[in-house]
A = this chain, B = another copy of it.
Amino acid sequence: MKKPSIIHHPSSIISNTPTKVGVFDSGAGGLTVVKSLLKHRLFDEIIYYGDTARVPYGPKDPATITRYALEALEFFKNFEIDLMITACNSVSAHALPELRAKASFPIYGVIEPGVLALKNAGLPNSSRILILGTRATIGSGRYQNEISRLGFSNIEALSPSLFVPLVEEGIFSGELLQSALDHYFADLTPPDAIILGCTHFPLIADAIRDYFPNRPLLIHSGEAIAEHLESSGFTPERAKETELRIFSSDNPEALKEIAKKWL
C-alpha cells in the first residue's frame, strides 16, 4: 500500500522554536481548523486568509480552484510563514501539487490527515465509510482513493451541498436542519465512520452523528491535521498564547464577526 504523500513532509518542520502558520480557506469554514490548532497550542502565530470574495469553492471547477489557491500562496509570501495549511478540502483535493511546486515552505492539506485519522481509528476493513464533501472534493475522488487504499471497500461518497449554506446561515440544529439531513441521508445504511470532508461540517457534527442510531465515528479535518502534526514530530514548546490575525479578500469585518462567534 502506498503511503499518503503528506508523511514525506513533516521532517522539514520538526522544530521547537516559535512557528508561524498560514491557514488558507475559501471563506470562514477554515476557522474550524483554526479552533483545533488553538486548542492544541501548536503555533505562536496564525495568519488566516479567507477568500470570502469568491467563496464557496466547492461547486467550482478544479482549474478555477487551483488558480485561486495559487493567488492565496502569493498572499502568504508576504508573511514569512513557516508552513501553510489549506484548511479547505476542495483546495486540498485539487491544488496541492501546484501549491507545493511553487512554495518555499511545506504545505499541508486536510485530506491526508483525515485519512490517517481514519486509519489510526483501527476500524475493521468491513466497516462502512461515508465521505461527505463538496462537489469539487467528492468529484476529485481523492478521499475515495486514499480510503480504499487503506483496505476499506464499503465506501459511499456524498455532496450534501446545502450543509454549507445552512451553517453559514447559523442553523446548527432544529427542524430545517433535520429536514436537510433527511433529504441527504434517509436512504443510507448507517455508516460506521463519517469523514467530515468540508470545514463547515464540524459545526453540525452533533446533528450528523445523532441522525444515525449507531452514532458513527466522525473524522474532523481540524483535529486530524493538529493530531497529525503532533504525531509526526512537530512538537514546539507549547505556545502560551497564539496570535491570530484574520485577513480576507472581501470585507474582513464580517469574517471577524464569525470568528468571534465560532472560536
Contacts and interface: CB of A to CB of B under 8 A. Distances in A.
Interface residues of A, number: 26
Interface in A241-263: 249-251, 254
A205 interface: no
A39 interface: no
A175 B162 CA distance: 14
Q: What copy number does this chain have within its complex?
A: 2
Nearest to A63: B251
A243 B162 CA distance: 34
Contacts of A169: 161-162
Nearest to A27: B59
Interface in A45-68: 52-54, 59-61, 63-64
9 contacts: A52-B60, A53-B64, A60-B251, A61-B251, A63-B251, A161-B165, A162-B165, A162-B176, A164-B165
Interface of A: 52-54, 59-61, 63-64, 161-162, 164-166, 168-169, 171, 175-176, 179-180, 182-183, 249-251, 254
